[in-house]
Amino acid sequence: MLLQRVLTAAILAPLMLAGIFLLPDVGFRVFIGLIVALGAWEWANISGVKTQGGRIGVAVVSVLLLFAIHFAIPVASTLWSALILMTLVWWLIASVTVFLYPKKATWLSSVVLRIAVAVPVLGAFWMGLVWLKNQPQSVLLLTWLMLLVWGADIGAYFAGRLFGNRKLAPKVSPGKTWAGVYGGMLTSVLVSVIIAYFFLPDHDLKGWAWLVLLSSAVVAISVMGDLFESLLKRNRGIKDSSALLPGHGGILDRIDSLCAATPMFVLLWFVLSVA
């Protein structure tokens, strides 16, 4: 299973990086939009939509919503940024739902509400990546975000296996541990320090402190993305969002952390830019 995961990741990571480095803005929007469409199809499944037609319908609606945003809102506008940052309120609600599960999760009994949650999750994922693509240092920022999330995943895996005794949210995802969270944060802080050293010189002590905060906050909220998807799958009684990716499950199983991390990264980049 581990070898299969590694081989699949060895294909997916270069594909994402190729999209970041090679695609122009519109091409990148379409590329990430396709990922969102597949994610929405899977989201319909873990939300309880049992028919294939219903799941495809949810995916089609998600694509139409992206088209509407693309044509109606300029990416440089304050509204675009505000919509991204507003979704952080949703992730606060998701955190409460996860850690107080099942007491504060009665709303999960509604299929409609579960589907509706895909809007702030997948919508902010697409809008945040598109916003970063339109920044002056777009390649650096997008690569940095990917490495933060991927590094956290790797650090959490090994730290969890070596030191993972204390469970993070046993009622939602028994495999997640506090050691994994700390290991992921440490790995991501190292990633940020290396990136800043080579590409963002002239940081003072305050700037380095913001870098550590950015890395830790992005990893912390990325864990919520993972846990909330696990909660939906547990509620649905399935292990993976789909079987599209050998060894990894589905698209959502790969981007759940990134969906939560993206709006936080956007927020903290605003802060870091003026720090």
Residues 144-160: pLDDT tens digits? 999 999 999 889 888 98
Closest listed residue to residue 167, CA positions, set 227, 221, 108: 227
CA atoms of 268 and 215, how far apart (whole Å): 9
State the amino acid at position 90 in one-letter form. W
Place of tokens 């969270």: 181
* pLDDT for 199: 79
pTM across the whole model: 0.93
Q: What's the Rg (C-alpha) of the chain?
A: 18
Counting as low any pLDDT under 50, the low residues of the chain are none
| β-pair partners for 268 | none
pLDDT for 270: 79
- Separation CA 189–CA 215 (nearest Å): 5
For residue 6, the model assigns a pLDDT of: 66
Q: Report the pLDDT value the prediction gives residue 163, as an integer from 0 to 100.
A: 86
Range(s) of the domain holding residue 98: 2-274
Contact partners, residue 25, CB within 8 Å, separation at least 6 = 130, 133, 134
Structural domain total, the chain: 1
pLDDT at 92: 93
pLDDT (0 to 100) of residue 54: 95
Query: Does the bond joining 102 to the residue before it have cis omega, within 30 degrees of 0?
Result: yes
pLDDT at 4: 59
pLDDT at 247: 63
Cβ pair 88, 217 in contact under 8 A:
no
* C-alpha span between 127 and 65 (Å, rounded): 11
